[in-house]
Structure 1
Amino acid sequence: MKFTRADFPDGFLFGAATAAYQIEGHSFGGAGPTHWDTFAKGPGNVVRAEDGAIACDHYHRYGEDLDLLRDAGMDAYRFSTSWARVMPDGRTVNPAGLDFYDRLVDAMLERGLKPFQTLYHWELPSALADKGGWMNRDTAEYFGDFTDVITDRIGDRVTSIATINEPWCVAYLSHFLGHHAPGLRDIRAAARAMHHITLAHGIGLSRLRAKGMENCGIVLNFAHTEPADDSAGAARAATRQDAINNRWFIEAITKGTYPAEALEGFGPHMPAGWQDDMALISQPMDFLGVNYYTREMVTTDQGAPWPQITGSAGPGDKTQMGWEIYPDGLREVLVRMARDYVGDLPIYVTENGMAWDDTVENGAVYDPVRTAFVSDHFMAAKQAIAEGANVQGFFYWSLLDNYEWAFGYEKRFGMVHVDFDTLKRTPKASYHALKSAISR
């Protein structure tokens, strides 16, 4: 690695991230069915129709996994709490679910790890999906109730709470592009989901504030977006793509508006009276979580429906996902967020990582591409700090190889290899390299 802990400000947090449905094993502990369980059963939706029933069995092996974080010298752990585990039908409390997260947070603290909680990372209870899911405004209110229940149990011990992870994926990727559950390709459904998931953030934040909670924010995903060529059409496509993918949520949350370029398509399909929600949505928060993986090169496709955009990966080296490795995009996003939206508000890199076809050889995993990826992206964050962004921590995605949603167990993002037959954990070379870099 090209950096050490001393290259970052005092108090900078080094950590790794996971998500509940991707690692816990949703068949354990009385968790209820989710729209991912049923989406995975649809033809062609998920590689080999795999789901999160067992995943990494973190439900039973969390102690071993937290030991990996501690032993690497990590300061913090970003985890999520499954709505369907805590409230299997979205409304009724499952005591075993609360007990699990009670044990989990205590185990983090016992190992000196700061718990960074995300309330919602995509596992919508099926009972709420049956009522329209994020197309239904009531789901945002029910999310507020879930916020109350889980916060009453563990809120006294968590360092930080993010309301929603990647609302763009919850809404646009899932309701317009159809790649994630519920797998819709419908502009009306997408427009309503785009607003209701943002409203859920506002409602959740209000519930947290009513309990006196601090260090509350949201986690948004960003891609560095550029025109694919010098044409006017490509420039228009980049502006529109940026409005949909990057500006929609951050402008709603920090400015109380949605970008005009996105409303050109979504406006006629938005729920009635959506403007009345913007004050609630844009109430002050305490931090911004930034997820960044790659850049997008886009141009106009006149033969396609709105937004008439076609995209491609940039020319650089690619990950197992086919995403271009472009560290400078992280620097640009962090600087942009500070300059244009949040000022001196704390920013955390809440996800950044890469998938690779890792294999265990002679009891070890050699992943030099990931080691270089991690080093270069940490250096990009360091440069963003030098340019004025108040970046206070960096969480690698992910601690473990896990259930990678529509890609099943095929794509490996972890610093720790998981054999999904035996569930054996094997720290990769990148894990050991980061451990050495951040050692005190």
Structure 2
Amino acid sequence: MTIIQFPKDMKWGTATASYQIEGAAFEDGRGLSIWDTFSHTPGKVVNGDNGDVACDSYHRYEEDIQLMKELGISVYRFSVAWPRIFPNGKGEINPKGLEFYHKFVNALLENGIEPMCTLYHWDLPQALQDTGGWANRDTVKAFVEYAETMFKEFNGKIKKWITLNEPLCISYIANYVGAHAPGNKDLQLATDISHHLLVAHGRTVQKFRELGTKGEIGYAPNTTWFEPFSNRLEDVEACYREIDHQVRWFMDPVFIGEYPQNLVDWFKEKGVELPIEKGDMDSIQQPIDFLGINYYAGQIGRYKENTGLFDCEIVEMGYDRTDIGWPVYPDGFYNVLSYVTERYGNVPIYITENGACYNDEPVSGTVKDAKRIKYLQQHLTALSRVIESGVNIKGYFLWSMLDNFEWAEGFSKRFGIVHVDYNTLVRRKKDSYYWYKKVVNNNWFEY
């Protein structure tokens, strides 16, 4: 057995997102989001599932917080539903929305759990989508106004803020691949949105500083790692185009002040250009207090013409796969964290999402999810390696606290360490909950 030890000041947490767990979609003045519209459109979500009720955490948050307290976590990452605060995206504030999040944050604090708030985890108010959504620069302005409201309202109460979760998904997965709301399939549109998101992020950081808000602010891009099948230049370049799109496209502008030229040229050949306006890059390149990293899987890739967006073919290597079909590739976790640090310096990093989908159901009242535990062991071991290599890891948020609405997969995929029966909404701790509890409380585990 090997002991995997973590630093004494390591923060352990879990994470969720508003549309995936809250429910109460039509209560207390909440406006419609693009995910309400998308999930109610036939054929968009597996089994026609939607987040109308989800885990009903809007009504059951006290029970969920007790599960967190028993788990022993010191910090919890959640997101605010923008349409609960501004039902139309801007204009009139909904006081009941603010009241709910005050009650929720107060309950966290009373139970010794620090809140980390994500301002945008994909539930754009439908009213803003109706006027162009993130393709319209007015949405950037509306987002900054929404963020300002939250900063003022929760100043001193919430001290860790994330502007955006996974801008790649918001832009390219939702507006080029079309798998997420609003479901467009337009490369220029997706590229426009990717830039506007970074402008929104930067201007929100500027507003945070301008207001003198107490605490720290960052953002949470998703990452992957593509290992070249061979050392042939074509394979290496193909893999780095994939890495660069997930990592550098959304990080270089923030840390370096420019987009990766290889991808700018690549898109230009496809007739796609960035909609950069005067002052945009200065706004984006605001110093942040920490970087959130979401990581689930990596791949082996090689060059193949006309394959995907970047001429990169995924090579099947026989790796174990989770129940959502993603390869289990912990070396990719080590590699991407090392790469980010080598490129951007000693930036403080929180692992804002990492976890696995396994659809184990209760048997005689218990949920034995041994594969999830193995996944966590492998990835936390990789995390320990990068910490010992000098990467500045501040904390780890397991995704997810609860089984929940898994976007286009509906309720068919389970990521939680707490099982949710979607008929009765009964919560049941899985074996992985008890395993993670030991890690959180001991700061080490045996592997």
The TM-score, its normalising length taken from structure 1, stands at 0.95
Q: Is 1:250 aligned with 2:251?
A: yes
Q: Judging changes above 3 Å, is the alpha-carbon distance between structure 1 residues 18 and 3 closer, same or farther for their aligned structure 2 residues?
A: farther
The aligned counterpart of 2:95 is 95
Quote the Cα distance in structure 2 between the aligned partners of 1:210 and 1:68: 37
**Deviation of 1:275 (Å):** 6.1
Quote the Cα distance in structure 2 between the aligned partners of 1:240 and 1:231: 14
The aligned counterpart of 1:45 is 44
**Deviation of 1:193 (Å):** 0.6
Q: Judging changes above 3 Å, is the alpha-carbon distance between structure 1 residues 383 and 303 closer, same or farther for their aligned structure 2 residues?
A: closer
The aligned counterpart of 1:17 is 15
Aligned-partner SS, 2:335: helix
Identify the match of residue 314 of structure 2 among 311, 314, 330. Answer: 311
**Deviation of 1:369 (Å):** 0.8
Quote the Cα distance in structure 1 between the aligned partners of 2:52 and 2:334: 37
**Deviation of 1:279 (Å):** 1.1
**Deviation of 1:111 (Å):** 0.5
**Deviation of 1:322 (Å):** 0.7
**Does the 8 A contact of 1:295 with 1:313 survive in 2?**
no
**Does the 8 A contact of 1:148 with 1:207 survive in 2?**
yes
Quote the Cα distance in structure 1 between the aligned partners of 2:39 and 2:9: 41
The aligned counterpart of 1:83 is 82
The aligned counterpart of 2:432 is 430
**Could you tell me which amino acid in structure 2 is paired with residue 234 of structure 1?**
D
Quote the Cα distance in structure 2 between the aligned partners of 1:309 and 1:276: 34
Consecutive unaligned residues of structure 1, counting only runs of 5 or more, are none
The aligned counterpart of 1:216 is 217
Identify the match of residue 355 of structure 2 among 338, 353, 356. Answer: 353
The aligned counterpart of 1:180 is 180
Quote the Cα distance in structure 1 between the aligned partners of 2:266 and 2:132: 21
Quote the Cα distance in structure 2 between the aligned partners of 1:132 and 1:305: 27
Quote the Cα distance in structure 1 between the aligned partners of 2:264 and 2:285: 18
Q: Is 1:396 aligned with 2:398?
A: yes
How does 1:223-372 map onto structure 2 within 5 Å? 223-229=224-230, 231-267=232-268, 268-274=271-277, 276-303=279-306, 306-311=309-314, 314-341=317-344, 343-372=345-374
Aligned-partner SS, 2:300: strand
**Does the 8 A contact of 1:290 with 1:347 survive in 2?**
yes
**Deviation of 1:436 (Å):** 2.0
Quote the Cα distance in structure 2 between the aligned partners of 1:375 and 1:304: 34
The aligned counterpart of 1:8 is 6
Quote the Cα distance in structure 1 between the aligned partners of 2:202 and 2:171: 16
**Deviation of 1:415 (Å):** 0.3
User: Could you tell me the percent identity over the aligned residues?
Assistant: 39
The aligned counterpart of 1:32 is 31
**Does the 8 A contact of 1:12 with 1:392 survive in 2?**
yes
Q: Is 1:409 aligned with 2:411?
A: yes
**Does the 8 A contact of 1:176 with 1:186 survive in 2?**
yes
**Could you tell me which amino acid in structure 1 is paired with residue 108 of structure 2?**
M
Quote the Cα distance in structure 2 between the aligned partners of 1:197 and 1:312: 32
Quote the Cα distance in structure 2 between the aligned partners of 1:135 and 1:419: 38
The TM-score, its normalising length taken from structure 2, stands at 0.94
Quote the Cα distance in structure 2 between the aligned partners of 1:303 and 1:275: 35
Aligned-partner SS, 2:265: helix
Aligned-partner SS, 1:439: helix
Q: Is 1:374 aligned with 2:373?
A: no
| RMSD, aligned CA | 1.8
Q: Judging changes above 3 Å, is the alpha-carbon distance between structure 1 residues 133 and 313 closer, same or farther for their aligned structure 2 residues?
A: farther
Aligned-partner SS, 1:32: coil
**Could you tell me which amino acid in structure 2 is paired with residue 366 of structure 1?**
K
Aligned-partner SS, 2:117: strand
The aligned counterpart of 1:64 is 63
Q: Judging changes above 3 Å, is the alpha-carbon distance between structure 1 residues 211 and 121 closer, same or farther for their aligned structure 2 residues?
A: same
Quote the Cα distance in structure 1 between the aligned partners of 2:40 and 2:59: 25
**Could you tell me which amino acid in structure 2 is paired with residue 239 of structure 1?**
Y
Consecutive unaligned residues of structure 2, counting only runs of 5 or more, are 443-447
**Does the 8 A contact of 1:195 with 1:274 survive in 2?**
no
Quote the Cα distance in structure 1 between the aligned partners of 2:323 and 2:230: 25
**Does the 8 A contact of 2:225 with 2:333 survive in 1?**
yes
